[in-house]
Amino acid sequence: MRALRKHLEALSVFQWVLTFLFFGLFFTTLLLYLLSTACWPLAALYFAWWISDWQTPERGGRRSEWMRRWRIWELHRDYFPIKLVKTAELPPTRNYVLGSHPHGIICAGAFSAFCTEATGFSRTFPGLQPRLALLAGLFRLPVYRDYMMSSGMIPVSKRSLDFVLRGGPGQAVVIVVGGASESLDCAPGEQRVRLRGRRGFVRLALQHGADLVPVYSFGENDIFRQVRFPEGSCARRLQLRFKQLTGFAPCLFGGRDLFCSRLWGILPLAAPITVVVGKPIPVPRRPSPTEEEVAHFHALYVQALRELFEAHKGSCGLRDSEQLVVA
């Protein structure tokens, strides 16, 4: 039974990775193909509904508690395994902007903690509604957009985030601050985040009076190996150029195959991930924050993230000598 359970866990993660990488392209191609067949009315009806529903992602999405509680997410959690750690109360009488670090290749820890109930978010932080913010362009893909919204994901756009935070209290938007650029630096054993010059999430928190909360996913960078190109190299410049054009950074990465051999594949390595949610930083409401105010709270946030890392790195399997690099 244990062997069967392990196979089911691997299959659950495998389907999740396939969905993340190919689901949007598959259904876009399928619907376009159906338009040229006898089934064209079905595709036409979907596209008509898709156009009429265009603004839903930026209006809080369409969350499904039923989907967030699927048993398959428990298998996904146990494969690594993934654990959610609470360090302080987050009263639902406030709104929150959670900064999630590091990005890693595929944000496995953030997905499990904030887009499913596998790690028990609603029990750990009762009254809060988490929403993980993703690249806005992904919400233009047919069917895939509905899949993401069902898990509570929203576009990482100003309009979308403003809409959610105006609907509080009890709203918690989760922003992977390092973004796609940070994914190019991730590798097993690396503890590097990109925060310098990234102040939009702080300005957002000030405009809505939402408390800032640092989140660190220990082990996120350990689930894939990546071919990293040196800064300034031709391949690196191509990656950055592609990222500028699409918002997505193409990474050359590998894990293992579905049959647990040492060959490279798209299945992540089974490395433990611990998502630690830090203490809230109280933020006043400033509809038009000054640059000095933004810089002040950004510095407080960076310091809080460093303290969170230092306080939990030992219990999460890191050596005492390891340091968090903030770039």
**pLDDT at site 241:** 75
Spatial distance between the Cα atoms of 86 and 287, rounded to a whole number of angstroms = 30
Blockwise average pLDDT, block size 10, the chain, 327 residues? 85 90 83 90 91 92 94 96 97 97 93 97 97 90 91 95 94 92 81 92 98 97 82 74 68 74 78 97 96 97 97 93 91
Q: Which residue has the tokens 């990546």?
A: 226
Whether 152 is in a domain gets the answer: yes
Whether 257 is in a domain gets the answer: yes
CA–centroid distance for 278 within its chain: 17
Q: Omega before 280 cis (within 30°)?
A: no
Using CA atoms, how far residue 261 sits from 12, 49, 264, in Å, is 18, 44, 8
Q: Which domain holds residue 140?
A: 2-319
The structural domain count of the chain equals: 1
**pLDDT at site 297:** 98
Range 242-251, long-range pairs (CB < 8 A, 24+ positions): 243/180, 243/181, 246/137, 247/135, 247/136, 247/137, 247/180, 248/135, 248/137, 248/180, 249/180, 249/181, 249/183, 249/184, 251/105, 251/183, 251/184, 251/226
Whether 325 is in a domain gets the answer: no
Whether 327 is in a domain gets the answer: no
Whether 294 is in a domain gets the answer: yes
Whether 247 is in a domain gets the answer: yes
Whether 26 is in a domain gets the answer: yes
Whether 12 is in a domain gets the answer: yes
Q: What is the pTM of this model?
A: 0.93
